[in-house]
Amino acid sequence: MKPSSSEQHPPGEHLASHRQGSLQVFTIERESEGNQLTLGMISALAGAIRQAGQQDISAILIRSQGSDFSLGRDTRPAAAASAPASAAVASATALSMRSGMTSPILDVYDAIAGAAVPVIARVQGRALGFGCALATACDITIAADVARFQLPELEKNLPPTLAVSAMMARVPRKALTWMVYSMQQIDAQAALSLGIVSQVVPLAQLDDACEQIAAGLAQRSRPALVAVKDYFRSAPGMDPRAASDYAANLLATVFSSIQK
């Protein structure tokens, strides 16, 4: 899935974007730093996903350059700012932490969930911390057999609650708590069994697998794709009867649009 230079529309520094037919591709380009994302990159990615979802596309693909998908969030700027000179500054930092640090992370999870079309992750190597949560949050995650997943935040005495918030609806609690407390890496097959990834393929076949699912989605009508995404997003919060009624309403709406 190599971009055409004429189609490049970078959403931000170290993030590239290109349109490939009905597929919108976002590429994390920070290979020298293990594709760690700064808060600015995370905010830019969330905005780009939202904007892409408004276009006439069938899917969104998130990928990265190099051997790793993402080693997580780059915490160095935050660490540099975490030594306040006074109690007043410390108080201000605590009060602004949600809007300054946690909100961008939660926002990208919300952008993926709220996208009208499926969001696909291509995971070629390690996905740690935020990278693991980002891969899990996507609707479809295709991983190479050499991919590895880990929640190592407790190594720095940081609770990975934001990552857990993106993963807890997809990963069984016993497995997720084990990942959090043990901080051990799991391989792609284990991630498949836990619901972190959708499919595992040999590394050499990773691009072909992504292109295959994207090509299949491109042949489907956008109303059908939007309805499926909407149902997966909304139905879990409904009681069974309401979920059944909503399923019937969505099907009737899409069927009606096809008949016109």
Segments making up each domain of the chain, as ranges: 5-220, 221-260
* Residue 139 confidence (pLDDT) above 50: yes
pLDDT tens figures, 225-242: 999 999 999 999 999 999
pLDDT band at 253 (very low <50, low <70, confident <90, very high): confident
Alpha helices in 7-102 (DSSP H): 39-53, 76-80, 87-97
Looking at residue 143, what is its pLDDT?
A: 98
Q: What is the DSSP string of 88-138?
A: HHHHHHHHHHIIIIIHHHHHHHHHHHH-SS-EEEEE-SEEETHHHHHHHHS
CATH number of 5-220: 3.90.226.10
pLDDT band at 9 (very low <50, low <70, confident <90, very high): low
Give the mean pLDDT of 78-103. 53
Question: What residues are paired with 62 via a beta bridge?
Answer: 26, 121
pLDDT band at 165 (very low <50, low <70, confident <90, very high): very high
User: Taking all residues of the chain, what is their mean pLDDT, rounded to a whole number?
Assistant: 89
pLDDT tens figures, 56-85: 999 999 999 999 999 999 987 544 433 443
Looking at residue 1, what is its pLDDT?
A: 54
CB 60 within 8 A of CB 51: no
229 by Cβ neighbours in 10 Å (0-12 / 13-18 / 19+) ranks as: buried
* Residue 86 confidence (pLDDT) above 60: no
